[in-house]
A and B are shown apart, each in its own frame.
Chain A
Amino acid sequence: MAKETLTEVITVANSGEADVKKSRSALPWIADNGIFIFTALLLLFAAVFVDGFASLANITDVFHRAAPIGIVAAGMTFVVISGNYLDLSVVAQVATSAVIMLAVSNLYGVPIAMLAALGAAMMYALVNGIAVGYFKANAVIVTLSTTYIGVGVLRFFSGGSIFFGPEDGPIRAFGASKLGPIPYSAIVLIIVTILLAFVLNRTNFGFVVRSFGSNESATRLGGVNTGLVIIGAFFVTALAAMVAGWVLAAFSNTAVSSMSTGYDFQALAAIIVGGTSVFGGKGSVFRTLLGVIFVSVLTNVLVISNISFGYQQVALGVLIVVAVTVDALSRKVGKR
């Protein structure tokens, strides 16, 4: 019952924009489909012109790069689509999950470690979700503060120690496992992406998250408990970050509290480049995956070509600005 009413309400609310979509400008089309084209172009360019890119070893490296960020970004898409900018605390969450996995499993085994990591993820989701969903506080600052608290707690208990598992342990085995030529990290990434895409597009919960971003007041008028929806969005992100932490830990069979620095912005960059609008409402998990692939391939190409760290940062920054400019301009053109 509620879903149909909600759709109606939102269509009515957004009807102003819908009429103008028949603009002749190429810009909205680029904004919507550009990522497919640019990724394809980049892959083509790299395969042809960059030595060694197309080798199995290197593609594996790209996946190893892409997997943790991709899993985090796929989860964070929920938060972004709901109109809440981003979740900065993924940095703390991934590191916490990785450290818990290794530290706890060395003492109590993997299943208990998983439960502990799940508990930590729920804590983050609750604090973030309540502050943003019920207190209506700004998500950027809230997640910034939870990052501080989270990193502080993690460091307090783990110090800077590098935790490592036994060489013959289950974590190492998982990290080295492959399905034919495809490494474990790629498999987890694909499974998570499909799962989250399903949740976002085919479930009531996903629908409400999308409509929340599209038109917040309409959603609320439709009788939805928005606070719970926001907590849900942060919970998805927290679960994704937890899995990403496990993937990262399995990669090197080690975990240290500083291992996930930069994940928040990299994930956001991937989401933006993928075409999910930061204004909320528009986007999908598959687009995010494309964005992740694009960013990972780009970074990989830069490193293989021996470009220094400074230029890599500039490239990332320019990329974000260009992607968002295209998005913003296309909206403007669409409105006229």
Chain B
Amino acid sequence: MRKSRIGLASASLIAVAGLTLAGCAAADETATDAADTTEEAAVTGADTYEVYALLPQGNDQAYGTTYLPPMLAKAAELGINLTITNSEYDGDKQASECEVAVAAQPDGIILWPAIADTIRPCLEAAQAAGIPVWITNADVNPEDTELTYGYSGTDSYGQGAASAEIMCEIVDGAEIGIIQINGLTGNSVATLRGNGFKETIASNCPNVTILAEQPGDWVPDKSQIAASEMLTSVGIENVQGMYAADDSMIKGGIDALKARGLDPADFFITSIGGTFLGNPLVVSGELDGTIFQSSSWDGENAVIGMYSVLSGEVTADDERVALYMPNPKVTAANASDAEVAPEW
């Protein structure tokens, strides 16, 4: 019994080892084949680049669903072959996918960090392997930017700040209290937007006091309950305004007000997104302002940025490029304009 178990254990280990060795042997051959084909390709002038896109969301979230098609279209246009991953905001999963991507030796990596704090080993591995990295949507920490060629995308902190600016403007110096609905706890976008909003309020219009904050997890129903409970918690008479990190959540907050028989138009309400849910609310006056975010700009520019590195337009010696998505404010004045028409 014992012997057969050890026998089976060693047999399976040998089998795995044997297969991997066979794989190694095959690899040498395929490596030379691959080298031949790229040489050929370079000679004929057809440039197809192999690029890995390491994303933390995709078809599982509304933003991702509309981020991908423009990205893929642009990639096809520029002759880039994209392999896309989705780590669902799991830092360990993304790190593992990064290892696989680096091992695949692509021409470039487009990276949307799931957790900025844990992404450095991935960047270092890519640099060691000579693979250029372009960051999209959520930037890395300042000390890690040197390992990347450039960044294109939103400025989550800036979005929070812009929403705060709208709030300060419409409050116009009055002493009011507001409640804040945040995104999913621990999510970097949620944290950045939250900080951007809070710090800008503190510096630009300290007359506004944030009485309570709770997570709405990016969905309307949880936000509605959270908002309603916050109103109970701080006392409805003390609240004159509301902010949510996202249009879907502010919809929940507005519904919470309506459920209590209150008119949202009487409150100072801002959020971020400019989405299909948010834009109509601005038009109807229930939402006072939001920040337009274009998922298509984001997806396209990730590829454009990567291409600029691959084609040699941007080199390692150049200063790091940063393409920031503009943060146009959407208020009743411009809500019907075509440039802020919702995309997701």
- Whether A and B touch directly in their complex, counting CB atoms under 8 A apart, is answered as yes
**Contact partner, B60, options A159, A248, A252, Cβ 8 Å:** A159
Q: Would you call A65 an interface residue if the criterion is a C-beta within 8 Å of the partner chain's C-beta atoms? A: yes
A20 touches B (CB below 8 Å)? no
Closest A residue, CB atoms, query B61: A160
Q: Report which of B62, B63, B251 forms a contact with A252, defined as CB distance below 8 A.
A: B251
Contact A161 B62, CB 8 Å, known A57-B232, A252-B221, A254-B221? yes
Chain A interface residue count, CB cutoff 8 Å, equals 32
Chain B contacts for A155, CB-based, 8 A: 59-60
Could you tell me the distance in whole angstroms from the C-beta of A94 to the nearest C-beta in chain B? Answer: 11
Contact A57 B231 (CB under 8 A): yes
A304 in contact with B65 (CB, 8 Å): no
Q: A60-B259, A159-B62, A309-B185 in contact; A53/B232 too (CB < 8 A)?
A: yes
B287 to chain A, nearest CB (A): 14
A289 interfacial by beta-carbon distance below 8 Å: no
A258 within 8 A of B: yes
Bound: A306/B228 CA distance, A: 13
In contact, B226 and A57 (Cβ under 8 angstroms): no
Question: Smallest CB–CB gap between A189 and chain B, Å?
Answer: 15
Chain B at the A interface: SS class: helix
Contact A252 B57 (CB under 8 A): no
A256 engages B62 (CB within 8 Å): yes
Report if B277 contacts A (CB, 8 A): yes
- Judging by beta carbons under 8 Å apart, are A61 and B225 in contact? yes
CB of B61, distance to nearest CB on chain A (Å): 3
Q: Which residues of A contact B236 (CB under 8 A)?
A: 57
A287 contacts the other chain (CB 8 A)? no
Q: Which residues of A contact B61 (CB under 8 A)?
A: 159-160, 258
Say yes or no: A259-B233 contact (C-beta < 8 A), given A160-B65, A162-B277: no
CA distance A320 to B232 in the complex (A): 27
Q: Are B277 and A61 in contact (CB under 8 A)?
A: no
> Is the pair B233, A254 in contact by a Cβ cutoff of 8 Å?
no
**Inter-chain contact B221/A55, CB cutoff 8 Å:** no
Is A159 touching B232 in the complex (CB atoms < 8 A)? no
Closest to A304 in B: B233
- Bound-state CA distance A160–B63 (Å) is 8
Determine if A246 is an interface residue (Cβ-Cβ < 8 Å).
no
Residues 30-63 of chain A, each 1 if its beta carbon lies under 8 Å from chain B, else 0: 0000000000000000000001110101101100
Complex: chain A residue closest to B231, CB-CB:
A57
Q: Which residues of A contact B220 (CB under 8 A)?
A: 162, 252, 254
**A305 within 8 Å of B by Cβ?**
yes
> Given A64-B225, A258-B60, A306-B212 in contact, is the A58-B219 Cβ separation under 8 Å?
no
Whether B59 contacts A306 by the Cβ 8 Å rule is no
| B65 and A303 form a contact (CB under 8 A) | no
Contacts of A58 in B (CB 8 A): 228-229, 232
Contacts A162-B62, A252-B224 given; does A258 touch B219 at CB 8 Å = yes
Q: A61-B232, A252-B255 are in contact. Are A160 and B221 (CB under 8 A)?
A: no
On whether A259 and B214 interact (CB within 8 A), knowing A155-B59, A309-B185, the answer reads no
On whether the beta carbons of B229 and A161 are closer than 8 Å, the reply is: no
User: Is A257 interfacial (CB 8 A cutoff)?
Assistant: yes
CA distance A185 to B103 in the complex (A): 53
Minimum CB distance partner of B63 in chain A: A160
> Is A156 located at the chain interface by the 8 A CB criterion?
yes
Q: B274 an interface residue at 8 Å Cβ cutoff?
A: no
Instruction: Look across to chain A and name the residue whose beta carbon is closest to the beta carbon of B59.
Output: A159
A251 contact set on B, CB distance < 8 A: 221, 224
A positions within 8 Å CB-CB of B:
51-53, 55, 57-58, 60-61, 64-65, 155-156, 159-162, 164, 176, 248, 251-252, 254, 256-259, 300, 303-306, 309
A-B contact pairs, 11 of them (CB 8 A): A57-B231, A58-B228, A159-B62, A159-B65, A160-B63, A160-B64, A164-B277, A252-B220, A252-B255, A303-B214, A304-B233
Could you list which residues of chain B lie within 8 angstroms of chain A, going by C-beta atoms?
57, 59-65, 185, 212, 214-215, 218-222, 224-226, 228-233, 235-236, 248, 251-252, 255, 259-260, 276-277
